[in-house]
Structure 1
Amino acid sequence: MVDVIIIGAGAAGLAAARIISKSGKSVTVLEARNRVGGRIYTLQKDDFSFPVEAGAEFVHGNLPHTTALLKEAEVSFYETSGNTWNVHNGEVSEGDLFPDEWGELLQKLNALEHDMSIAQFLDRYFHDEKYTALRESIVRFVQGYDAADTTKASAFALRDEWSGEDSLTGYRPHGGYSLLIDFLVNECLQQGSVFHFNSVVQEIYHNKDHVEVKTEGGERYIAKKLLVTIPPAVIKTGSVVFTPALGDHMNAIQKIETGSVIKFLVEFKSAFWEKNKNAAPYRSMPGLQFVFSDASIPTWWTQQPVPDPLLTGWLAGPAASDNTKDENALLHEAVKALAYIFGCTIQAIEEQIKAMTVINWGADHFSRGAYAYKTVDTNSALAILSEPVSNTIYFAGEAFYNGPEMGTVEAALASGTTTAQKMLA
């Protein structure tokens, strides 16, 4: 028997394992994948010329846990920059994502006294035809940036997010987010934490101060306490059975919503979008950081100010969760979208491609989505999940964090840290 079993070697699980093992407790970490990191996944593929982020990519602002860990791990980071371009109805323009009524929307949101979905809010206060462009832009943003369903996403949560958001992006770690994960793993190993990979948990038997975990391969692990960092979207599938059943905690997990994301990574032979506007056959978008469009894969960004010729595509929210295309079909769709955005032929795009891949997080059995978002019911659910089951089973992860950074690496690190401290107390 060990003191603590942690299910999941993502950011939350590793942050917790580090703290608990440093206190002198014995820790066993069970990870379903053959690697650490979870939805932090920096690819070092031979066909790409540099590390690329399949999962988490940005540090959204000056976040205490993330920036402190970056400094402790001696991982440098840089601020993103560049220009925003828009392509709609085949026409290209440079400018902001939101229309002029954005200030009016924030004013109405700040005056809102009772929470509701953002769709209900728009229907109630911005139903007039003159707000059509505003409504469409908000829907695109909520589905794209937050990977959320507008009929479920909390207006209060979005208000908090938009009031505090200085930038869509923020910062990127030099060399990739996985450097943080590697640092945490090494810290855990030095303190005696034991890792078991390809360990897919199927059953959890528990009573006060005693937990037995059974994996798909038939292995059994016993501990005094258990920390579960399995994403709620996975738990909701029923793939993990708790005996006895969790009752209120399971009901609360059912109320946590997770958005889907399909991410495209395309490295080109050169950054052709930076060329002179007369350099056919491609549209020129000098200084391109973000391009928002009405293409089938609407959002793309560069590595600005780093000049790497990489475009990252982003399909999120209901459009991603409803997408049933296989990998080859998705890659073909990406090429078509880029041809539309840059006003050229599919062949012209294909001639420029050096490497490309697609990551469908909604189809990933161990994540079932990209990250959680807040609904009207989220806060009440998290209040239940913040308390352990019989002081024995605890939950942590970005989806279990009740703060403004829910859905981010910061949320995972903060949740893992505070939960570990609670377990030790």
Structure 2
Amino acid sequence: MSDKPEHIIVVGAGAAGLMAAREVARAGRTVTILEARERCGGRIHSLPASEFGYPADGGAEFVHGEANVTRALLREAGLSLQEIEGTQWSFDGAKFSREDRHDPHEAELHSVLSALKDDLTLAEFLRRHFAGDKYARLRHSVERMVEGYDAADPARASTLALREEWMDGGRRVQARINGGYGALIEFLAAECRKDGAAIRFGCVVSGIEEKGGGVAVRCAGSDVHGCDRVILTVPLPLLRDIALPAAARAKAAAADDIGFGNVIKILLRFARPWWRERNQDLADMTFLLSDEAVPVWWTRYPDQRPVLTGWFGGPRTAELQSLDPQGLIDAGIESLAAIFGLSREDIARDLVAAAATNWAHDCFARGAYSWATPRTRAAQAMLARADGPVLLSGEALYRGRDMGTVEAALASGLETAEMILRG
């Protein structure tokens, strides 16, 4: 038996990959991280502080709920959180109103959800239990949350997986990391390197094969890396692009039973907070919802920086599929112009910096994050199995409450590392 430490290759330097790599490197394994991009983070993407006045998050931004793994890491890294405060507003096409999250049928919704035993899609759930005009507002509210917040398709999304989210009305604590998620990624990458892990950028993995009692990982450009085991942490759509050993390929096929949604995110920095000047009631605005092309906006409140972030999630992002980043920025400005009754020239005049990402256009992501269908839990159990030398990890495999989050990615990476270390 060889005295050489086991060599683990981690494919992907996002949150799951870095977390898994840190844990196995700490335990004395030889670790190589292969990352297709020229940076760490994956769907966590810090934008230049020189442009936005702070390290803005072009991808993941919020810490949702308890997020125990995330919070423990933040304490290790000496990073702090700023809880989201302020008021949520809506614009109905004519006037602004403080968002009233209470629906007159909310108690009935909770009662039906509590009694639900067998899973079904959200669309079918609403058809069965909340058809008719009197429930129109409730249906619109639920569908808007599922499409916008979860980036999910109501025709495929699991009602049971979403139940807890609705039962608390979406009122759980949300926070931002002071310094952004990029600061956490920098900490994890430094920890990996400190424990001897090598991070190689520009390595687009095209195939993994079992060879001579070990594993060979092939990259575009014909580079081949040998190892004992592989932790594969790429976003679900990319699994189809990687040639896998037969057993791993059979496992990966289960990914088709997990939803994967898209997000368009637009950041606009202005010379002054013109929305507060125009309407003093909006001084403590956090979120603003409308039915415009870019339907959700938020501020940095209680931070007073004059930055608005636009968000469009779910299958309807296909409506803006043809737009490049500048086209998305223009669509965002037009949406704000319609909401505030201004010309787009008035809004563009104060624009200092702008950035926009349609995550479906990112070739190493092809979307934003995963969501559950009625068949997802069985698929996750299949994907997370530790049989064979290729293990899968990432936010899509997380079986807890907050699937699709950075917490889910970190927790999955930790769980995969523990499986490796158990033997």
The TM-score range, normalised by the shorter chain, is over 0.9
Residue identity matched to 1:398: E
Shift of 1:45: 4.9
CA contact (8 A) 1:76 1:174 kept: yes
Q: Residue 90 of structure 2 aligns with which residue? A: 86
Residue 113 of structure 2 corresponds to: 109
Aligned counterpart, 1:423:
420
RMSD: 1.7
Are the counterparts in 2 of residues 228 and 393 from structure 1 also a CA contact under 8 Å?
yes
250-259 vs 306-315, greater mean Cα deviation? 250-259
In 2, distance between residues paired with 1:169 and 1:270?
28
Q: Which amino acid aligns with 2:399?
A: N
Task: Write out per-residue CA displacement over residues 92-122 of structure 1, whole angstroms, 9 at most, x where no aligned residue.
Answer: 2112245332232122111111100111000
Q: Which residue of 2 aligns with 1:281?
A: none
Is 1:388 the counterpart of 2:386? The answer is yes
The residue number in structure 1 matching 2:126 is 122
Structure with bigger helix share is 2
1:351 aligns with 2:349: yes
Q: Equivalent of 1:63, from 41, 51, 67?
A: 67
Q: Does the 8 Å contact 1:58/1:169 carry over to 2? A: no
Query: What are the Cα deviations for residues 374-415 of structure 1, in whole angstroms up to 9, with x where unaligned?
Result: 11010010111110242x111111011111111011111110
1:34 aligns with 2:31: no
Give the SS at the match of 1:150.
Answer: coil
Match of 2:51 in 1: 47
Structure 2: runs of 5 or more not aligned: none
Offset of 1:83 from its aligned partner?
0.7
Percent of paired sites with the same residue = 39
65-74 or 326-335: bigger deviation: 326-335
Distance in structure 2 (CA, Å) of the matches to 1:189 and 1:419 = 19
Aligned to 2:100: 96
The partner residue of 1:175 within 174, 179, 182 is 179
What's the counterpart of residue 328 of structure 2? 330
Deviations 1:127-181 (A, max 9, x none): 0111111111111111000000000110001102233565366111101111111
Quick check: 1:300–1:311 contact (8 Å CA) kept in 2? yes
Residue 271 (structure 1) aligns with: 273
Q: Is the 8 A contact 1:399 1:407 kept in 2?
A: yes
Specify the alignment match of 2:221 in structure 1: 217
Gaps of 5+ in 1: 279-283
Partner of residue 233, structure 1 = 237
3-state DSSP class of the match of 1:59? strand
SS in 2 for 1:365: coil
Over 3 Å counting, the alpha-carbon distance change for 1:199 and 1:262 in structure 2 is same
Equivalent residue number for residue 10 of structure 1: 14
Contact 2:286 2:300 in 1 (8 A): yes
Contact 1:205–1:244, Cα closer than 8 Å, also in 2: no
- The change in CA–CA distance for 1:35 and 1:247 in structure 2 (over 3 A counts) is closer
Structure 1 residues 174 and 209: CA distance shift in structure 2, 3 A: farther
* Secondary structure of the corresponding residue to residue 290 of structure 1: strand
TM-score normalised by the chain length of structure 1: 0.94
Shift of the 79–333 alpha-carbon distance from structure 1 to 2, 3 Å rule, reads same
CA distance in 2: counterparts of 1:214 and 1:48, whole angstroms: 39
